[in-house]
A and B are shown apart, each in its own frame.
Chain A
Amino acid sequence: MSVSTIPAVAPVTAGDLRRRIWLVQIGFAALTVLACVTAPLIGPTTISLRQVFDSSIPFAENVDAQIFFIARLPRALAGALVGASLAAAGVVLQALLRNPLATPFTLGVSAGASLGAMLVITLGLPLTVVGVPAVPIASFAGALAAVAVVYALATLRRQGLSTNVLLLAGVTLNSLFSAIILFVQYLADFTRSFQAVRWVMGNLDVSSYGPILSALPLMGIAFVVFARLPRALNLLTLGAEGAATRGIDVLRTQRLAFLSASLVTGAAVALGGPIGFIGIIIPHLVRLLVGADHRLVLPASAFLGAAFLVACDVAARTVLSPMELPVGVITAMLGGPFFLWLLIRHR
Chain B
Amino acid sequence: MIPAHASGSVSGVIDEASPLLRADAVSFSYGSHAVLHDVDVTVPAGGLVGVLGPNGSGKTTLLKLLAGLLTPGAGRVTLDGRDTAGLDRVTIARRLAVVPQETELAFDYSVLEIVLMGRYPHLHAFELEGPADLDIARRMLAATGTADLEQRSFRTLSGGEKQRVILASALAQFESRTTTDDDPGASRVLLLDEPTSSLDLAFQLETAALLGRLNRDHGMTVIVCTHDLNFAAGLCRDLVLLRDRRILAAGPTDAVLTPDTIAAVYDVDADVHRHAVSRQLTVVPLARR
Using a CB–CB cutoff of 8 Å, the interface residues on chain A facing chain B are 2, 4-7, 9-14, 17-18, 21, 94-95, 98-100, 159, 228, 231, 234-239, 241-242, 244-250, 287, 291-293, 295
Contact = CB atoms under 8 A, between A and B. Distances in A.
Contacts of B153: 4, 6-7
A94 B104 CA distance: 15
Given A14-B134, A245-B69, A287-B107, A9 B100 contact: no
Given A12-B151, A100-B107, A247-B120, 17 more contacts: A5-B108, A7-B153, A10-B112, A94-B107, A228-B125, A236-B106, A238-B114, A238-B117, A241-B64, A244-B68, A245-B69, A245-B96, A246-B117, A247-B94, A291-B110, A292-B109, A295-B128
B100 A242 contact: yes
B127 to A, nearest CB: 9
B281 interface: no
Contacts of A249: 88-89
B272 to A, nearest CB: 34
A10 B151 contact: yes
A249 B69 CA distance: 11
A5 to B, nearest CB: 5
14 contacts: A7-B110, A7-B153, A13-B134, A14-B131, A17-B128, A94-B107, A235-B120, A238-B103, A241-B69, A242-B100, A246-B117, A247-B121, A248-B89, A291-B110
B133 A246 contact: no
Contact of A246 (B93, B107, B113): B93
A95 B155 CA distance: 17
Given A237-B106, A292-B107, A247 B93 contact: yes
Contacts of B113: 7, 10, 234, 291-293
DSSP class of A's interface residues: helix, strand, loop or mixed?
loop
A37 B10 CA distance: 75
B110 A234 contact: no
B112 A237 contact: no
A244 B89 contact: yes
Contacts of B8: none
6 smallest CB-CB distances across A and B, nearest first, come from A247-B93, A247-B121, A98-B106, A10-B110, A247-B90, A292-B107
